[in-house]
Amino acid sequence: MSRIGFIGTGHIAAPIARLMAAKGHEISVTERNAEVSAALKAELGVTIAPPQAVIDASDIVFLCLRPHIAAEVLAPLTFRADQQVVSVMAAVSAEDLAKLCAPASDFVQTIPLGFLQSGGCPMAAFGKDRLLAELFEPENPVVKVADEAALNAHFAICAMVPGILDLMATGAEWLGDVTGDADGAEFYTTQLMAGFLAAMEKGTAGRLAQERDALATEGTLSLQMTGTLIEQGAHEALRAALGAIGKRLEN
């Protein structure tokens, strides 16, 4: 088992720490989010320490900082050449990581979401993907990407998740208004989507479109829905948002 440290302890770091602790690793965290770090100590018995002490005590360091404060937090710290570094920070390049974490040079950048604690979260990986596989598989599949541009595109797709949730919330609200049962409406909406996606065959390009077309046949309510979304520009809006996020990540 490894000694794993977390620089930054927020909504992404916490489920990773829980999963790593469940796998038997020794965990230390910073107190950047005092409430979360205290909860992890009470729940898992993790060590809370200043950032440099966390680095000194760790074989593997997870960087879970907001990108705009990464340089400020990391620049004063000293890493070791033998340490492995996992960055979950969008828009912090491999070049920047190499400068901020020198002499450490063993990096992997990835994109986790909080549900990885339960399994089933795909993790795009640029860099040492084998480290992520050792830590997170088989519960969470690791998807190796060719370069940072591809990684950033995967970051953009992760940002699509709250967008889809936003649409689902609107649908559930509409259903609740019609039925008068807001709780039942949200349950039905979430279970409908979760059940359908869980039942889909995975791993082949075009599967989403095939499933859409199987439902949206001539004269159906499904075709009315997909047609209206096209007419109202929903797809153009999504592509525009993804493109803008991709450009933001390049800067």
CB 186 within 8 A of CB 168: no
pLDDT number for residue 101: 95
CA distance 101 to 77: 8
* pLDDT per 10-residue tile (average), the chain, 251 residues: 92 92 94 86 93 96 92 95 94 90 94 89 94 94 94 92 95 98 97 91 84 94 96 95 88 65
CA 30 to chain centre: 20
pLDDT number for residue 23: 93
- DSSP assignment string, 62-81: EE---GGGHHHHHTT----T
Calculate ∠ Cα 207-239-122, nearest 5°.
50
Residue 214 C-beta-side C-alpha neighbours within 13 Å:
8
pLDDT number for residue 203: 66
Predicted TM-score (pTM) of the model is: 0.85
pLDDT number for residue 143: 95
pLDDT number for residue 111: 87
pLDDT number for residue 82: 95
| Pairing assessment for the beta strands 123-127 and 106-110 based on DSSP bridges | antiparallel
